[in-house]
Each structure stands twice: as structure tokens, then as C-alpha cells.
Amino acid sequence: MNWNADKGWRMLDRVAGPFYPAKIRPYLTLGWITAFVLVILLFAGMQRTLLPHPPLLPIQIQMERILRSPFFFVPYDLVVLLVIWLLVRSRPQAEYLYLRALLYGMFLAGFLGGCLVALVPWRG
């Protein structure tokens, strides 16, 4: 890994490090983060489809229309998938592996959440 990448991981560690003690960092792996995101997605999908909701506000309808538009959905998903691919391929130093897993989890949740918004309608 080159110097600039190490500098970036170090900077992220200074920001996120205080929130993640050394005791839990070994558990922040790509596998555990993937499982966590999938469980959250399952609950969000169940909540979206099974629970009744009040009618959507006009601003919510407008936002749903934008988020379901192929002009937003396709480029957004392509960029998010590219970032996920780069994170999986990256090889940071051992002390920064938890950061890679956290970033991967955030982008995976963004991708799957976007799919949930686009593919699962509200029940109302």
C-alpha cells in the first residue's frame, strides 16, 4: 500500500477510533458487518411491507419518485458497488481493518437500502 493510502487510513482512524474501543475491533470484520446489515435490511423490509403507514406526505412522494428514477438509481448503485469493490480489494494495515469493515458496511447498507426503496412499495 502506498503512503497516501496509509495516510488516509490513519486520518480515518483518528476520527473513528475513539468510538470503537480496541476490545470490539476484532469483531468488526466484513462477515459480521454483512450479517448485521442483512438483519437490519430484513427488519426494514418487514416494517415497510407488513406494518400499515399513514399516507405519505407530498415531499415523501416526491422523494420516492426521485429515488425510484433510473437517472438516480442506476448511477448511485454503480458508484456504491464500485466503492464496495474497492474496499473489499483494499489491504490496509491490520490496525485499520475495522475501518475497512465499517466503510464496507455503510456502503452495503446504502446499496441494499436503495434497492429496498426502489423495489418494495409502502403498505398504507
Tens digit of each residue's pLDDT (9 = 90 or more) over 49-82: 888 888 888 998 898 888 888 898 899 999 999 9
Sign of the CA dihedral running 67, 71, 72, 77: positive
Percent of the chain scored above 70 by pLDDT? 95
Determine the Cα–Cα distance for residues 16 and 100; give it in Å rounded to an integer.
Answer: 11
CA atoms within 13 A on the CB side of 55: 2
Report, as an integer, the average pLDDT of 96-106: 93
pTM of the predicted model, to two decimals?
A: 0.84
86: pLDDT strictly greater than 60:
yes
36: pLDDT strictly greater than 70:
yes
Report, as an integer, the average pLDDT of 23-39: 94
Rounded to 5 degrees, φ, ψ at 23 are -65, -35
Computed over every residue of the chain, the mean pLDDT equals 88
Q: Domains of the chain: which residue ranges? A: 3-119
114: pLDDT strictly greater than 90:
no
SS3 87: helix
